[in-house]
Structure 1
Amino acid sequence: MNTKIIASLVLLMAVFQLSAQDEVIKLYEGKAPGSEDWNWEEAQRYSELFQTEVVYNVADPSLLVFKPENPNGTAIIIAPGGGFQTLSINREGIEVAKELASKGVTAFVLKYRLVHSKTDKPAQELMENLKDRAAFDKNTVQIKNLAGQDMQAALKYVRDNASKLGVNKQKVGVIGFSAGATVALESVLRSNSAATLPNFAASLYGGPSDDLMAQDIPKEIPLFIAAASDDQLKLAPKSIALYTKWLTANNPVELHIYAKGGHGFGMKTQDLPVDSWYKRYEDWLKQYKYID
């Protein structure tokens, strides 16, 4: 098949997937605080390197809303991963939202602020940046803070508009993948208001910084954790450390470490036990009465 035709089909599929959302909510009026001078435009493309659709150059944070046919009052905000330079918008965002909506959850995919990509190949830029991990971690401190603020703004929006959204203010959770796990945990460990603190959380193959891990857990917040032992970024121990932190604080926590699955498995099908992680997550949600 002609490569131009294939590219057009991929674009049409992306548009179709995004059209399944119910609405898009802009998180801030005017420019987002802390990035007022950002003037680049958000973009989306298929990444051959990551083999999935990615969003990049997010300067105007927003929520993609997915409403269930029979809402049960639970809301979950999803933070896709992508190294703070991209968002794996389908595999760790839209597909997760659709699954949750099928269970009665009002789901939100968060497009949080990212490192500015100077080319139309953000995944390649990310991999180049990761070659010097110490420099990468130093250069992304500001972005992590801004992305954490975006998650808190999202939580506040959902609670402020709970009646309109058909959401119970006491049943608002977060789930994050990879870099998105850090974004989710920022709301748990750095929130200074009940309005921006989730009621429950989940971390998928995350790698929170030592600084974030040093923060106290503010209250009894149930946490679900999943990762793979063969994670290419060697982040499985971070999930174990996160589990230990919650356990030591006598907080409810559940950990699943799969033998295989790699990093970034999300909703990808690999014909491995890890493919069913979201079923275990749904079992966990049932345990706490967040889904039926």
Structure 2
Amino acid sequence: MKFIAFLLLLSFSTISLAQEVIKLYPGKAPGSESWDWTEKITSPFPNNRILYNVTEPVLLYYPAPVDKANGTSIIVAPGGAFHILSIDNEGIRVAEWLNSLGISAFVLKYRLVKIETDNPFEALMPLMSDMDKLDSINAPVVELAKNDGIEAMKYVRTHAPKLGLQPSKIGFMGFSAGGTVTISVMLSAEDQWKPDFIAPIYLYKKAVLGKDMPIKETPIFIAVASDDGLGFVPHSIELYQEWLAAGQPAELHAYEKGDHGFGFAPKGTTSDMWKQNFENWLAKRKLIP
């Protein structure tokens, strides 16, 4: 058991030290000052670490290589039903891929619901069949996660010149619950802190906060699998229709296969194309060369 604990600690240290860790608040994050539990990590799947009990929101900064950097940056919000963060599949691997395109990436570790057990899936999975109950449990934390996303935007836009980034080319992308955070930031933040483009991937829309559509042109890239096991396809279609109705540039990809949570993991399904489609979309919008 001590050896396993050491491996988990080593795994966590790798996440902490592989890049710059940027705190989003000077002290305890507002709204969770009394949270005193410890962030944990588990690896139930090969090469896919899972974080839970996140109490301190931070950005994991992955700067683009100097010889490739093009000034574009993207904040990446992993998913996990506001109970866990799929930190590898929907965070770090995405950031590393964005780096290969010359994009600097910031992986957002936002606050999560407290899990009492050492098996986060034991606590989460029964709730996935009762979304109303899950929404009720998540509601206070969704508000905090949205605030963390806005603070992330404030940090990146404020520090962009110092980091060699374009303040007008800051995107926000998220997966599942991370997509909820992405849209909540867009619809809740003041205009000066709204992202310049967004990419919600198989988002959960029912828990989205805010109603203030962007005034400036803000393109959106939406992706989902038609066989999404959680039934989230209508969420992406509805968002796409809302963006069109607002006169905003919108692109929607609904892949035949891929289920929910395909993220960066190759699945041998049409959903594997989302990365190529997103890269092409970025190029057409002159966000990458």
Q: TM-score, normalised by structure 1?
A: 0.91
Query: How far did 1:34 drift?
Result: 0.8
State the partner residue of 2:50.
54
1:26 is matched with which residue: 20, 23, 26? Answer: 23
- Which residue type is aligned with residue 278 of structure 1? K
Query: How far did 1:47 drift?
Result: 2.4
Distance 2:260 2:208 in 1: 23
Distance 1:150 1:20 in 2: 22
Distance 2:36 2:229 in 1: 34
1:282 equivalent in alignment to 2:279 = yes
Query: How far did 1:130 drift?
Result: 2.7
State the partner residue of 1:265.
262
Distance 1:157 1:18 in 2: 19
Distance 2:143 2:121 in 1: 21
State the partner residue of 2:239.
242
State the partner residue of 1:64.
60
State the partner residue of 2:211.
215
Identical columns (%) = 46
Distance 1:244 1:43 in 2: 39
Q: What CA deviation, in whole Å up to 9, does each residue of 1:36-72 have, x standing for no partner? A: 1111111111125x98311111111000010111321
Matches within 5 A, 1:55-204: 55-69=51-65, 70-194=68-192, 196-204=193-201
Distance 1:110 1:238 in 2: 22
- Which residue type is aligned with residue 123 of structure 2? E
Does the 8 A contact of 1:47 with 1:123 survive in 2? no
Distance 2:9 2:268 in 1: 27
User: Helix, strand or coil: the match of 1:140?
Assistant: helix
Does the 8 A contact of 2:176 with 2:203 survive in 1? yes
Does the 8 A contact of 1:224 with 1:255 survive in 2? yes
For residues 283 and 10 of structure 1, do their structure 2 counterparts lie closer, same or farther at Cα, with a shift above 3 Å needed? farther
Segments of 4+ moved more than 4 angstroms: 3-19
Q: TM-score, normalised by structure 2?
A: 0.92
User: Helix, strand or coil: the match of 1:130?
Assistant: helix
Distance 2:12 2:261 in 1: 19
For residues 5 and 37 of structure 1, do their structure 2 counterparts lie closer, same or farther at Cα, with a shift above 3 Å needed? closer
For residues 250 and 193 of structure 1, do their structure 2 counterparts lie closer, same or farther at Cα, with a shift above 3 Å needed? closer
Distance 1:11 1:211 in 2: 34
- Which residue type is aligned with residue 40 of structure 1? W
- Which residue type is aligned with residue 135 of structure 2? D
Distance 1:102 1:10 in 2: 28
Query: How far did 1:159 drift?
Result: 1.1
- Which residue type is aligned with residue 174 of structure 1? F
For residues 39 and 7 of structure 1, do their structure 2 counterparts lie closer, same or farther at Cα, with a shift above 3 Å needed? closer
For residues 230 and 8 of structure 1, do their structure 2 counterparts lie closer, same or farther at Cα, with a shift above 3 Å needed? farther
Segments of structure 1 that go 5 or more residues without pairing to the other structure are none
Distance 2:268 2:3 in 1: 30
Does the 8 A contact of 2:180 with 2:208 survive in 1? no
Does the 8 A contact of 2:180 with 2:207 survive in 1? no
